[in-house]
């Protein structure tokens, strides 16, 4: 069994402001995406890492990121689709993973993923077909409709999902195939597996495993580094 990583990074990434896509903004002395890829390449379980980027970025991504920073274990760099789900489906078809291999699908702008959970996540995915990282919700969550509270959800049952999410390759490919055929658009890859009626195991994530999508997120990431709470390669 081999372990592959798929990074869907084909979105516009403009929420953080400016003309630079969020994954190319610098954190430390390198772009956020490079920091993420470097930490993933350091994981001994991982065999290959595949990137799905905007079509206009394919050539420059390989030259300006992969070659410039001498990134290891990089496989294909391909163009994404209209939606994140399309990009993941493209990546799953192009990465060359065997049915029983495990695929980790990870946000390119989450450089602080808990490295110690990669092994357990892979093992759980191989056994159950799908496994995700999540942390318990800390805030009260309310369901709101037309400006009015409809209900207060039971916080003890709510978890905030992170990446990487891990899947046996045959399971996630089939989930994407069914979702595409059925016109279902999920908010993450695990939701497609759930939609098919298959189980998804949950392992503890970490509060520092933030997704850097806004200026506040970037400021928090830099503060965590300055405080020594997280480290980069």
Q: What is the predicted pLDDT for the residue at 227?
A: 94
At 126, give phi and psi (nearest 5°): -65, -35
The single-letter DSSP state of residue 156 is G
Categorize the per-residue pLDDT at 24 as very low, low, confident or very high, splitting at 50, 70 and 90.
confident
Q: What is the pLDDT of residues 59-87, one digit of tens each?
A: 988 888 889 999 999 999 999 998 999 99
Where do the H-state alpha helices sit in 95-205? Answer: 118-128, 169-182, 189-195
Q: What is the predicted pLDDT for the residue at 19?
A: 64
Domain ranges in the chain are: 3-226
| Strand 130-136, strand 142-145: pairing | unpaired
At 51, give phi and psi (nearest 5°): -110, 135
Q: What is the predicted pLDDT for the residue at 21?
A: 75
Q: What is the predicted pLDDT for the residue at 18?
A: 60
Residue 65 near residue 33, CB atoms below 8 Å: yes
Backbone Cα Rg of the chain: 18
Q: What is the pLDDT of residues 167-216, one digit of tens each?
A: 999 999 999 999 999 999 999 999 999 999 999 999 999 999 999 999 99
At 189, give phi and psi (nearest 5°): -70, -35
Q: What is the predicted pLDDT for the residue at 60?
A: 87
The CATH number for 3-226, chosen from 3.30.420.40, 3.90.550.10, 3.40.630.30, 3.40.50.2000, is 3.90.550.10
Q: What is the pLDDT of residues 135-168, one digit of tens each?
A: 999 999 999 999 999 999 999 999 999 999 999 9
Q: What is the predicted pLDDT for the residue at 152?
A: 98
At 39, give phi and psi (nearest 5°): -70, -35
């Amino acid at each position: 069994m081999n372990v592959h990583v798929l990074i869907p990074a084909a979105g516009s990434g403009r929420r953080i402001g400016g003309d630079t896509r969020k994954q190319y903004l610098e954190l430390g002395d390198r772009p956020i995406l490079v920091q993420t890829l470097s930490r993933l390449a350091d994981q001994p379980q991982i065999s290959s890492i595949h990137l799905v980027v905007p079509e206009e970025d394919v050539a420059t991504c390989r030259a300006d990121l992969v070659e410039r920073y001498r990134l290891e274990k990089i496989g294909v760099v391909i163009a994404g689709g209209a939606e994140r789900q399309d990009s993941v489906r493209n990546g799953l078809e192009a990465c060359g993973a065997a049915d029983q291999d495990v695929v980790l699908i990870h946000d390119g702008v989450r450089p602080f993923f808990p490295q110690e959970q990669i092994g357990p996540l892979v093992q759980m995915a191989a056994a159950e077909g799908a496994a995700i990282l999540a942390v318990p919700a800390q805030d009260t969550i309310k369901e709101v409709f037309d400006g009015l509270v409809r209900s207060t959800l039971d916080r003890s049952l709510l978890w905030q999902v992170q990446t990487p999410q891990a899947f046996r390759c045959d399971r996630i490919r089939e989930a994407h195939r069914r979702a595409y055929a059925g016109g279902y658009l999920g908010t993450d890859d695990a939701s497609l597996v759930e939609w098919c009626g298959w189980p998804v195991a949950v392992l503890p994530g970490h509060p520092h495993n933030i997704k850097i999508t806004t200026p506040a997120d970037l400021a928090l990431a830099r503060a965590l580094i300055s405080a020594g709470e997280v480290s980069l390669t």
